[in-house]
Structure 1
Amino acid sequence: MLEQKMPLAPISQALVAIVLVASGTAQAQTGAATYPTKPVKLVVGFAAGGPTDVVARAFADHASKALGQPFIIDNKPGAGTIIAAQAVASAPADGYTLLFGATNHAMIPGLYQGRIKFDAVKSFRPLCTVASSPTVLVVAPSLPVKTLADYQAKARAEPGRVTAGTAGVGSSGHFATEMFARAQGLQLNHVPYKGAAPVVTDLMGGQLDSSFATLGSVLPQIQSGKLRVLAVGAPKRSTLVPDVPTFAEAGGGKYAADVWYGVLAPAGLPEPIAQALERTAADFAKSASAIDKLRGLGLDAESVCGNAFASRVAREVTTYGQMAKALDLKAD
């Protein structure tokens, strides 16, 4: 009886396929192990000189030294940071194009419904936050309130008369204002400005009653006594104003509206590269130089990485989307 011979072609094809897969995996692992081998682009959706840009540059300097390749800032301002986010979402997931973003990234879907070509959650891999700035409620020195309870009592006694200024419709301050007002059943008179600076000017001048502002934008005026701060919108007190109670401590419920600054990559980033970048970001937030730099900007160093950061972004996208719909907010 002749021995039956197994066809060679299918076996050869299978072996070739296995070799190719193994080769590709090995190349990917080798690339990740040697990452980075060329400059890394860090895209920022704001103009140079603003808080996000300043923090991004501090991180880029640290990452360049830690990983041995330049991290180059690429400012792409405009369209509510959509231009920057789109550039990163459509970039290769190889670790060489990253987004340095802030909380407003989670506001994009709600404000620009149907006008963006990426998913603020699924198109990105959030790596780590590196800093945070709690929202604080500040009032004009001329407003006759000393505590958060006083402020709430005045707003209830005079519905729609207590003014609350923000940097504009759809800004983080606007969302923060509406979130607190709705949670407490208050009717505040929202006054949108074109930026944070005129809000501070009118507060100090008494033309405006109050503002839910990021701590960094009003810290000098708080320290000089030109503005009165009533509460900090964060789970714990800020080291920058340690004597100021949180909203929870002051009777404002579980309200929190802190702004984060962090690094995101295109979805599909290889795990070893993601881990290298997360370690770098976490080390930056722990470094003495970063802590000092951030404190000078009115920010707290903060490192929330991986799944915890991703969950936060997804949760905020939902929250801000619901709020934008309830308020019928649409960005121009």
Structure 2
Amino acid sequence: MARNFKRNMPLALVNHALAAIFLVAFCPAYAQTAYPSKPVKLVVGFAAGGPTDVVARAFADHASKALGQPFIIDNKPGAGTIIAAQAVASAPADGYTLLFGATNHTMIPALYQGRVKFDAVKSFRHLCTVASSPTVLVVPPSLPVKTLADYQAKARAEPGRVTAGTAGVGSSGHFATEIFARAQGLQLNHVPYKGKGAAPVVTDLMGGQLDSSFATLGSVLPQIKSGKLRALAVGAPQRSALVPEVPTFAEAGGGNYAADVWYGVLAPAGLPEPIAQTLERTAADFAKSESAADKLRGLGMDAESVCGNAFAIRVAREVTTYSQIAKALDLKAD
């Protein structure tokens, strides 16, 4: 009997092995652990405290509660967000390293032209946007223009004299300015505030040292509300609930101009579809939540949810647009 048992041992092992293979092949729940099973790293290409970081932290808090694992912010500022994007593009496509990016991500190819090791479109799985901040054209009350039509008439009457301040060459405000000027055939005098951010632009606008600025709504909302700046038009498909009295560019005679800054979640290319769907659903739910809406309103932003293929198409379109403008203006990052 002992001899028969020993003789049958190899057959028993084979049977157990076949059973295990069957379970792995035909039982997905057995084959893989539910996502996420450990903390998720959310990489942000800006320092803590800025708009992108604040929105990222709000999303991370929501995702942590919704999915039962910590979403940990990893700030990697510098090099025009290239450091952060590179870290995510080269990470495993397993859903545990994500990029919380913004519109400037689509400006990387335009400004760095072949000097980066990833493709802003193909190296990423575009999950969802969660917020947007429309561009708004603002002028000081001292400028004798009341409407967008007045502004355009002044710019046409004084080619190259109407100043438009931005945070710097190649900034989102710079591209927003050039897109509008080109669409309307205007010659504006671009005044870049290199490395100084939006704050000094706003200060000089209020002081009358600048004529105008194509700024993100969040950066000038308090000044608009207080009457220290006049908003002529908002660059979005519809009016913003934050400044409902301000017309869109289309309503004000500025054509189909739109230039909003998006904030959203991206992953390395090749992310498995079930994980992508989980993250897209989580991001979309965040954008729909009242707590997110309250947080975003305080930052001068609107909740927004553009997911999957629609998000990818938007990114690709922006990359093309910004690259064409950069080439025409011979823009390159330092």
TM-score normalised by L of structure 1: 0.92
> Could you tell me how far 1:243 is from its partner in structure 2?
1.1
The code of the aligned residue for 2:268 comes to P
Within 5 A, what are the aligned runs for 1:109-148?
109-148=109-148
Within 5 A, what are the aligned runs for 1:154-233?
154-193=154-193, 194-233=196-235
CA distance in 1, matches of 2:27, 2:207: 65
CA distance in 1, matches of 2:325, 2:64: 39
Alignment correspondent of 2:256 = 254
What are the superposed Cα offsets for residues 70-119 of structure 1, whole Å, 9 maximum, x if unpaired? 00000000000000000000000000000000000000001001100000
The code of the aligned residue for 2:205 comes to L
Alignment correspondent of 2:7 = none
> Could you tell me how far 1:23 is from its partner in structure 2?
3.8
The code of the aligned residue for 2:98 comes to L
Alignment correspondent of 1:9 = none
What are the superposed Cα offsets for residues 169-191 of structure 1, whole Å, 9 maximum, x if unpaired? 00000000000001000000000
Residue of 324, 327, 330 corresponding to 2:326: 324
The reply on whether 1:94 has 2:94 as its aligned counterpart is: yes
> Could you tell me how far 1:141 is from its partner in structure 2?
1.2
Cα distance, 1:20–1:139 mapped onto 2, change above 3 Å = farther
Aligned residues, how many?
Answer: 315
Gaps of at least 5 residues in structure 2 are 1-16
The reply on whether 1:61 has 2:58 as its aligned counterpart is: no
CA distance in 1, matches of 2:27, 2:302: 40
- Is residue 47–residue 53 contact of structure 2 (8 Å, CA) maintained in 1? yes
- Is residue 25–residue 31 contact of structure 2 (8 Å, CA) maintained in 1? no
Within 5 A, what are the aligned runs for 1:296-315?
296-315=298-317
Q: Matched residue of 1:87: which SS? A: helix
User: What percent identity do the matched residue pairs reach?
Assistant: 89
The code of the aligned residue for 2:288 comes to K
CA distance in 2, matches of 1:243, 1:30: 56
CA distance in 1, matches of 2:325, 2:189: 17
CA distance in 2, matches of 1:82, 1:195: 18
Runs ≥4 in structure 1, deviation > 3 angstroms?
Answer: 19-31
TM-score normalised by L of structure 2: 0.91
Gaps of at least 5 residues in structure 1 are 1-15
CA distance in 1, matches of 2:312, 2:192: 30
CA distance in 2, matches of 1:30, 1:310: 30
Cα distance, 1:86–1:23 mapped onto 2, change above 3 Å = same
> Could you tell me how far 1:29 is from its partner in structure 2?
8.2
